[in-house]
Amino acid sequence: MSRLLFFIYSWLVFVPLMAITTLVCGVICLALVPFLPADRVARYTAVPWARLCLLYSGVRVDIYGQHHLQPEQSYVIVANHLSQFDIFVLYGYLGMDFRWVMKHELRKVPIIGICCEKLGHIFINRSDSQAAIASLNAARARLNNGASVVFFPEGTRSRDGQLKPFKKGAFKMAQELQLPVLPVTLTGTFDILPPGTIRLQPGHQATLTLHAPLAVTGHDESELLSLMERSHAAIASPLTEPCPQALA
């Protein structure tokens, strides 16, 4: 009965509220972009949007490891990708100025696509390697004054909740910019909205775990592979550990 009631709530309350919140925050975002820096616009619009969407869906978020962050330091952030709710959790609770690296198809999403473009997020055409490289090169100029960039290095959402092998793009950018890599683990979001369904599941908690940054000192292939392996191991650890506090 509770699941049936939540299903009804999802379609009659959550979806309309999310649509209205997206519209209102999107309009405010577009109105503010010409007058304020992108990080402030995101703080005033995207962060409240994400937190409200989590509130509407009954999701509580715990965050661990914030002590690893250094003020005004830029990072290449790499996170696992379990669900569309990862976007809400990261935007709402990461507490950093960052730019997404996202597939170019998302540019076509009403309101969200144009707002992401105006806020300086990075659209990548994965079917065109030259265009993808050009997009990443253009993005480098945006990573200043503590701004970071977020990658999902698996390349797409996990369909079974298991962590997949990483692609090299994020780690190559970290080497080229000589920025530390910040591994981040998301847990709980897979159960909130599993892939292949639009049915929300009630009563879930999401966790965001920030791991110790990995220093980048060179440009060689061995370091790149080491960064990938160490990031994968760090992100994987809370996925099997019951107590993320011990890892933060």
Position 195 scores a pLDDT of 67
| Structure-block tokens of residue 169 | 């793009």
Q: What is the phi/psi pair of residue 102, to 5°?
A: -135, 155
**Closest by alpha carbon to 213, among 234, 194, 195, 238?**
234
Following CA atoms 7, 8, 9, 10 in sequence, which dihedral angle do they give, to the nearest 10 degrees?
Answer: 50
Q: List, for residues 45-96, the tens digit of each pLDDT value.
A: 999 999 999 998 888 999 999 999 988 899 999 999 988 889 999 999 998 8
Q: List, for residues 186-211, the tens digit of each pLDDT value.
A: 998 887 776 666 666 655 789 999 99
CA–CA separation, 46 vs 39, rounded Å?
Answer: 10
Residue 2 has pLDDT above 70, yes or no: no
Pick the CATH number of 61-247 from 3.40.1130.10, 2.30.42.10, 3.40.50.1950, 3.40.50.1100: 3.40.1130.10
CA–CA separation, 107 vs 105, rounded Å?
Answer: 5
Q: Sign of the C-alpha dihedral, residues 222, 225, 230, 231?
A: positive
Q: Where are the domains of the chain?
A: 61-247
Position 246 scores a pLDDT of 42
Query: Would you call 166 helix, strand, or coil by DSSP?
Result: coil
pTM for this entry = 0.87
Stretch 113-140: mean pLDDT, rounded? 73
Position 248 scores a pLDDT of 47
